[in-house]
Amino acid sequence: MSASNSKSVRFSVAPGGRLQGRLRVPGDKSISHRSIMLGSLAGGETRVSGFLEGEDSLATLDAFKAMGVRIEGPENGHVHIQGVGLYGLQAPPRPLDLGNSGTSMRLMAGLLAGQAFNVTLTGDASLSGRPMKRVVEPLTRMGAHIGTTDRGTAPLAIQGGAPLTGIDYDMPVASAQVKSSVLLAGLYASGTTCVTEPAPTRDHTERMLDGMGYPVQRAGNKVCLEGGHTLRGITIDVPADISSAAFFLVGASIASASDLVLEHVGMNPTRTGVIDILKQMGASIEIENRREVGGEPVADLHVRAAPLHGIEISPELVPLAIDEFPVLFVAAACAKGRTVLTGAEELRVKESDRIQVMADGLVALGIEATPTPDGMIIEGGSIIAGSVDSHGDHRIAMAFAMAALRAQGTIEISDCANVNTSFPGFVELASQSGLRINGI
C-alpha cells in the first residue's frame, strides 16, 4: 500500500464502552510465518488451520509461491502446502517484496543463504529502515554472501551457492528472529550450528522443527542443530495470537464492568510476559481449559475489569512481552501510580520507535510519559480526548484504540492501514466486543 493510502486510514474511537462476551482473535503471526517456511522445505504435505490472513503472513506465503512452492489457500484460515524439500526451491523471477514484515526478511535471510540461486529481499519504507546487520553478521560468519545498504538495511542481496559452516553464536541481544535466522541457515550448514541467548525468546522455530522430525538439542539458553537432516510435512493448528489478544486483555482490564473470554490463545511460555506483567499490576486474568495443540500450549483467558497499579517491570520479562509494550503502556497510563520500564531498547527499532511514538501519543492524551533510552516512565492519570499519529505502526494504532475505553472524549488515530499486517478485522471484532470504534 502506498504511503498516501496508508495515511488515509484513520480510527475514531468514542469514549466509554466495555468489553464483554467470548471472542477468538486471529492466528499467531509467528507460527503462521513458520508454517509456510518450514512446510515449504518439508517433504510431503503440510496442512495448516488457523493461519493468520494478515499482510505480513501473506507476504511470506507469496514469496514461497514465487520460489515454486505449490500452496493452496488461505481459505478461512486453511492452507495446504506441497513441500519441495530443503533443496527444492527455485530462483524467483523478481526480488521478493516482504512488505512490512521484519520476521519474513530476517528468517528468510537465513533460510535463503544456503540456496543455490541468487535472490534479493525488499520491503516497504518502514522495513527498509530496520536493522539487518544483526542477522547479516552471523550469517556472514557462516559463509553467506549478503549485501545490504551502507546503513546495513534492506534490500538484502543474497548470493547463492555459498557453502555454509555451522557456528557457535553468542547473541549480543535477545532476538527470536536472529536466533531463528541462524538456525534456519544451520539446516544447510556443514557441522553443528548453536545459538546461545542472553535471555529466553520465543521458541516457535525450535518447536516446529522438532514437530517436523528435525533433531534439535536444547540445554538451558543454548539451542543446537546439525545440518543435513530432513523435514516431513505435518498438520498445524495455529493458536490465536497472544500479541493480538493483549489488546483485549488490557482493554477489559481498564474498562469498567468488562467481562471477556479470549478463546484458544497460544500460551507458549516464551510469549506470556504480558499476562505476568498485567497480573503484577493487579489485573484479573484466569487461565482456563489448558491444553496442547500441535506442540504448542493453548488456553482460554478470562479477564475482568480490575483496578491496576503501577509497577517496575522486571527486565527479564522484557523479551517475553516485547511486542505487547505499546498496549502495556496504555495499561500503565490507566494505573494508579508510576510504572517504570527499562532494558527495552529493542522497542526503538520496531515498525516505529515505539518508545518515542507511544510517549508522544500519551502526552498528547494528557498522560505524563517520559521516554528513556531503553524504556519509559509513566505516571498514571486521566486520559483526555485528542489526536495521535500511529506512524504506520499496527500495534500503536490498536493500543491507542483501547485507550479510548478510559478517555474523557474521542481519540482520533491516524495512519492505521498497517493494522491489517497483523490483525485483519480488528475494527469489526473490537466493535462487536464493545469498543466504540470506526475505521475511516
Q: Which of 237, 261, 295 is the last residue of a domain?
A: 237
Distance (Å, whole) CA 324 – CA 334:
16
Whether residues 120 and 267 fall in one domain: no
| Confidence grade of residue 3 (pLDDT, cut at 50, 70, 90) | very low
Whether residues 12 and 37 fall in one domain: no
pLDDT in tens, 240-262: 999 999 999 999 999 999 999 99
Whether residues 318 and 344 fall in one domain: yes
Report the number of distinct structural domains present in the chain. 2
- Selected catalytic residue, list 56, 323, 389, 415: 323
For residues 245-273, b (16+ Cβ closer than 10 Å) or e, as one string?
bbbbbbbbbbbeebebbbbbbbbbebbbb
pLDDT in tens, 304-332: 999 999 999 999 999 899 999 999 999 99
Q: What is the pTM of this model?
A: 0.88
Residue 127 has pLDDT above 80, yes or no: yes
| 237 tagged catalytic | no
Provide the pLDDT for residue 434. Answer: 97
Whether residues 196 and 312 fall in one domain: no
Residue 316's CATH number: 3.65.10.10
- Percent of residues, the chain, with pLDDT higher than 90: 91
- The C-alpha cell 516485547 sits at 322
Residue 182 in contact with residue 227, Cβ under 8 Å? no
Whether residues 69 and 206 fall in one domain: yes
Q: Taking residues 347-361, what's their average pLDDT?
A: 92
Whether residues 175 and 271 fall in one domain: no
Q: Taking residues 428-434, what's their average pLDDT?
A: 97
Whether residues 355 and 393 fall in one domain: yes
Provide the pLDDT for residue 304. Answer: 98
Provide the pLDDT for residue 357. Answer: 97
> Cell triple for residue 193?
550450528
Whether residues 44 and 190 fall in one domain: yes
Whether residues 53 and 113 fall in one domain: yes
Q: Taking residues 181-206, what's their average pLDDT?
A: 96
Residue 5 has pLDDT above 60, yes or no: no
Domain of 266 in residue numbering reads as 3-27+239-439
Whether residues 229 and 378 fall in one domain: no
Q: Which of 237, 268, 285 is the last residue of a domain?
A: 237
Residue 352 has pLDDT above 90, yes or no: no
Provide the pLDDT for residue 6. Answer: 44
Residue 350 has pLDDT above 80, yes or no: yes
CB atoms within 10 A of CB 1: 17
| Confidence grade of residue 22 (pLDDT, cut at 50, 70, 90) | very high
- Give the torsion through C-alpha atoms of 376, 152, 56, 139, to 10 deg: -110
Whether residues 276 and 410 fall in one domain: yes
pLDDT in tens, 366-408: 999 999 999 999 999 999 999 999 999 999 999 999 999 999 9
Provide the pLDDT for residue 7. Answer: 56
Whether residues 102 and 161 fall in one domain: yes
Q: Which of 237, 256, 274 is the last residue of a domain?
A: 237
Task: Please state the length of the chain.
Answer: 440
